[in-house]
Amino acid sequence: MSTISRLFFTSPVSLLCDHYNKVVECALKVSDLFTALSEGDFEKILKLKIEISELENAADKIKNKIRNEFIKRRLFSIDKNTFFEILSIQDGIADKCEDLGVLLNLRKLTIIPEMKENLNLMVEKNVECVQIGQKILKYFEELSITSFGGKDVEVVKELIEDVAFKEHEADEFQSEVLKVLFKSEDDLKYTEFFLWVQTLKTLSDLSNYSEKLANRIRMILE
């Protein structure tokens, strides 16, 4: 059944899950981006940029169909404003993934050896935050059918806490990476230093947005 036809046969949250599945695909490509950067494979980085852009565009198509059709619907299991706020946060994650593809194609960055380990861990934690969001939404979809009651509420709250913890870990790894970067500032061209700062900030937004998404869902459950 197509997404557009399912609009009248599935819950709004189910469509959020469809959209978020594409978001997760984008995030997994981000992990591949940094692996390619570590290997100095700039042709692959360009290829991944294109793939992420295509996935982000696919997510946008689902988002636009949801907005165009659901805005006309009167029966919602959750408040419409809340629904579209969650959709907007999800959209933001996909956008940040696409931004990373663009940033890493602006010039050939070199990873400073001393920051490689913490950078890898930073990438891992940020992507994990996005992936946990997928689990949260799946449970959230089931809870929306039962008016957000039942034992799964506690499971979702635990997952939300896990996002918060991993976001904190991601911040810690980012701090270590930045320490190395600023220590090496004099050895880098300004454009390279600036690009690294922007790249790290955009990467950290994946976990920040994931935590924001998780907290927004928590508010519905409480």
Q: What pTM was computed for the model?
A: 0.92
Q: At the fourth CATH level, which superfamily is domain 11-221?
A: Phosphate transport system protein phou homolog 2; domain 2 (1.20.58.220)
Q: pLDDT tens digits, the chain, 222 residues: what are they?
A: 444 444 444 567 888 999 999 999 999 999 999 999 999 999 999 999 999 999 999 999 999 988 887 766 655 667 888 999 999 999 999 999 999 999 999 999 999 999 999 999 999 999 999 999 999 999 998 887 776 777 789 999 999 999 999 999 999 999 999 999 999 999 999 999 999 999 999 999 999 999 999 999 999 887
Query: 132, 166 in Cβ contact below 8 A?
Result: yes
Domains of the chain, residue spans: 11-221
